[in-house]
Amino acid sequence: MFYRNKIPTRRSAYGNEPYPPPRDPGCYDYHHGRPEAANSFNFPNIESLSPYEWKPPPAAAPPHTASTTSGRKRHRNDYSTYAVKRQRVVHLPQPSPASPLRWAAHPDQAVGESSRSALMGFDHFYPNPLYCLNTQVLTVPGSFTSIQNYVKDKLSSQMVELFEACQQQPPDLDRKEACRARLQEDIQQIFPAARLYLTGSSMNGLGCRSSDADVCLVIKGNKLPNPVDVLSQLQRAFRPLAYVERIQLIRAKVPILKFRERGSYLEFDLNINNTVGIRNTFLLRSYAYADVRIRPMVLVVKKWAWHNQINDASKGTLSSYTLVLMVLHYLQTLREPVLPSLQRAHPESFNPSMDIDKVPDGPKNIPPYTSRNQSSLGELLLGFLRYYATEFSWDKQVISVREATTLPKTNSQEWRNKFICVEEPFERTNVARAVHEKLKFDAIKARFAESCRILHARKDLNSILPFRTIISKESTRR
């Protein structure tokens, strides 16, 4: 039995067989570049960064109640400063706490050298770092934390197998980027200054092969347009396009235009000026690559929630974004935290008022984080289910990844009479507001309790979700 407050046994931070270096990436160019390295970023002139230790914050004040002028869509987002693009999970660079970190570039490039493809990106036309992300590969010589360090049991091995089969692959991102680029060209026939951003799980490292593509159309001006009017106009403009189909306008609190790429499974959700999704993309990306266990853990939890029919905000359950924040919160609040609060440790990197064009560069100087928690993936999954089944007080507590703790549930409008309270890290609104029926809330709690009981008894992922069937379905997308 794995206890939440048990002090884990210390193990070496080094893997015995590190991953082979990833292939030399291209530039993720929001116009026409190849997105193969969307999970990697280049940070010129970084020679040495010292790891730091996270100290859990003191008790936090009650959550701030945001005064927003418009509702926000629930997002699913990520990015890391020092992480290397990976097609598989087995080895992600992680510094040794005993030795200083020295960055070495990919063998084909020198440290600080801009790739040719980066120079040919959108920055050639606009001074905007978000459009073209310089994606030089960084490796940490002789210092790797292998996921195998955390595969100590059958359950952990199954989690890694599911992750490796289901994680988003470079061709998946290629296809999303190609469609995004075509869409932007067609949209600019109507709105010449508009820019279309690929956001969410497609870019934050937490996506899988079946993930939808979230895109945000940014239209700047003295007077912001009405989102429904813009989406209605785009709906009419998209109908003659040969490469999209099933176009549907969803008049929700945050209206979106849903459509699918013709001849594929790829679905898009397009919103207007919902730029918090861009901020969330890079915040969650930073968390996703802070520890090698994060991405497998999040993917397994999302697959588990979907299988148990509690991962659909449109049907009154949990959005994927909410689930990600719930996982991060659990990992932040362990006796030995797996994650810090990046917003507390580096407020300048995640300033909510930062100009949107500067958001991708915000986290670039964050040093690597080394956790002393050596729990296996299986132990963490069991602990996650047990935490929300038996320990978390749904009626009294607010989940706050921003503060890396729980906040007291106040009587403000944001939290009053809400079944589940999960704070949005930037806007500080409730991203779990879709759960507004007691029947659905009780079903969510029941799924946590039942899965916790079964998994604790069997220690087999198959006991709570048919992971072989899921792998088979994902493989059809190859």
Percent of the chain with pLDDT over 70: 69
Q: Give the length of the chain.
A: 478
DSSP state of 70: S
Q: What is the mean pLDDT of residues 161-168?
A: 96
Q: In the structure encoding, which two tokens stand for residue 365, read together?
A: 């100087």
Neighbours of 217 (CB within 10 A): 23
Which one is predicted more confidently, 125 or 242?
A: 242
Q: In the structure encoding, which two tokens stand for residue 98, read together?
A: 């005993």
Q: In the structure encoding, which two tokens stand for residue 350, read together?
A: 């995640």
Does residue 3 have a pLDDT over 50? no
Among 62-76, 346-360, 451-465, whose mean pLDDT is lowest?
62-76
How high is the pLDDT of residue 477?
64
How high is the pLDDT of residue 62?
52
**Mean of pLDDT over the chain:** 77
Q: Do the Cβ atoms of 398 and 415 come closer than 8 Å? A: yes
Sign for the pseudo-dihedral over CA of 85, 117, 351, 314: negative
Selection from 338, 327, 332, 329 nearest residue 375 by Cα: 338
Q: What is the mean pLDDT of residues 244-261?
A: 94
- The rounded distance, in Å, linking the Cα atoms of 362 and 236 is 37
Identify each DSSP E strand in 88-218 by its residue range. 91-93, 101-102, 104-105, 132-133, 138-139, 144-146, 195-199, 213-218
Q: pLDDT tens, 392-422?
A: 999 999 999 999 999 999 999 999 999 999 9
Q: In the structure encoding, which two tokens stand for residue 429, read together?
A: 């609104």
- The rounded distance, in Å, linking the Cα atoms of 7 and 3 is 9
Q: pLDDT tens, 174-200?
A: 999 999 999 999 999 999 999 999 999
3-state SS assignment for residue 295? helix
